[in-house]
């Protein structure tokens, strides 16, 4: 969020700003889903492990398949979140380069002395 909130909106076009905000909202939504999936599917995986330990006579596949299946959605959500985070970083890097270039052109040189006459 610090990169998006510090983005100089006047240095990018309206279309680029729309793309960046859309990517940020998609990333935020993916983070929320990942957190919910980790909590809920983690609890289900824990319950299935406890049941597998309590119930005798089950095969190894019956013991470990349910926890693996319950942990698949959080892993998938984490992969999606990483992909969206990289996409947003790529968009912001492109904007940072443009904004830095524009600021460097408009900023006076730091070595130039200003002499005031009185």
Question: What residue has token string 């990483």?
Answer: 82
Residue 78 lies in a domain: yes
Picking from 27, 31, 37, the residue whose alpha carbon sits closest to that of residue 85 is 27
51 close to 115: Cβ distance less than 8 angstroms: no
Picking from 87, 65, 79, 89, the residue whose alpha carbon sits closest to that of residue 33 is 79
Residue 94 lies in a domain: yes
Residue 3 lies in a domain: no
Distance separating alpha carbons of residues 49 and 28, to the nearest angstrom: 31
pLDDT in tens, 40-90: 999 999 999 999 889 888 888 888 899 999 999 999 999 999 999 999 999
Residue 1 lies in a domain: no
Residue 5 lies in a domain: no
pLDDT in tens, 1-46: 445 556 666 667 888 889 889 999 999 999 999 999 999 999 999 9
Residue 99 lies in a domain: yes
How many independent structural domains does the chain possess? 1
Residue 17 lies in a domain: yes
User: pTM score, two decimals?
Assistant: 0.69
- Could you list the residue range(s) of the whole structural domain that residue 78 is in? 12-106
């Amino acid at each position: 969020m610090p990169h998006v909130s510090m983005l100089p909106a006047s240095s990018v076009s309206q279309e680029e700003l729309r793309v960046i905000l859309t990517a940020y909202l998609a990333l935020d939504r993916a983070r929320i889903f990942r957190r919910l999936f980790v909590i809920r599917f983690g609890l289900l995986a824990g319950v299935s492990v406890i049941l597998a330990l309590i119930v005798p006579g089950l095969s190894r596949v019956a013991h470990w398949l349910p926890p693996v299946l319950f942990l698949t959605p959080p892993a998938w959500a984490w992969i999606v979140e990483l992909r969206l985070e990289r996409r947003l970083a790529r968009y912001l890097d492109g904007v940072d380069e443009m904004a830095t270039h524009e600021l460097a052109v408009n900023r006076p040189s730091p070595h130039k002395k200003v002499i005031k006459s009185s």
